[in-house]
Amino acid sequence: MDSSTSEQCDMLEEALGGPQKLAELTGSRAYKRFTGPQIAKIYQKRKEAYNNTERISLVSSFACSLLLGSYAPIDFADGSGMNLLDIKTKTWSQPCLDACAPGLAEKLGTPVASAERVGVVSGYFVDRYSFNPECAIVAFTGDNPASLAGKSGMEE
């Protein structure tokens, strides 16, 4: 819930033609806690750390990576809360990426559908916890999309 990225939010909105244009593209105006402005701040203030970063994950894709034993992709639903995803094409928006940091697409990987199978459980979990080696892993999502999904179908 870091709110120290006002400057980066202003820069992102300006680069995209204003808050309305950014919202039309990504679904949201720039928010201080969103990943795009946070990455921009890291790039601006700690360039060496950014340049030494191989992969940027959200909590959801990081948790999925643990089960996979390799990098997991960010799903569309969670990715839409980053100020980086074009919600119409479901791809990273190059103008948004460019406004935040160079080489960002490679650090984020390719986003995927929320229910996409991304692999099978890693050998570690098979050996250590007797998981079935054919156990499929689907893309994880974030707390907001998951809360909405869990709420649908509930009767009042």
CATH number of the domain that residue 129 is part of: 3.30.420.40
Predicted confidence at residue 63, as pLDDT, reads 92
Structural domain contains residue 63: yes
Q: What is the pLDDT of residue 152?
A: 61
- pLDDT number for residue 87: 96
Give domain status of residue 143, yes or no: yes
Q: What is the number of domains present in the chain? A: 1
The answer to whether residue 16 is domain-embedded is: yes
For residue 154, pLDDT over 60 is answered with: no
- pLDDT band per the 50, 70, 90 thresholds, residue 114: confident
Confidence of residue 142 (pLDDT cuts 50, 70, 90): confident
Q: Distances in Å between the alpha carbon of 78 and those of 43, 62, 122, 129, 142?
A: 22, 12, 23, 29, 5
156 within domain boundaries: no
Within a domain: residue 1? no
Half-sphere exposure in the Cβ direction for 141 (13 Å, CA): 19
106 part of a folded domain: yes
Strands of the chain (E only): list them: 85-86, 91-92, 117-120, 136-138
Residue 81: closest CA among 7, 17, 145: 145
Separation between Cα atoms, residue 81 and residue 56, nearest integer Å: 14
Residue 123 CA to residue 119 CA, distance in Å, equals 12
Say if 73 falls within a structural domain.
Answer: yes
Q: Distance of CA 42 to CAs 19, 33, 46, 57, 68, Å?
A: 22, 13, 5, 14, 27
How confident is the model over 101-129, as a mean pLDDT? 96
Residue 153 in this model has a pLDDT that exceeds 80: no
Q: Structure pTM?
A: 0.87
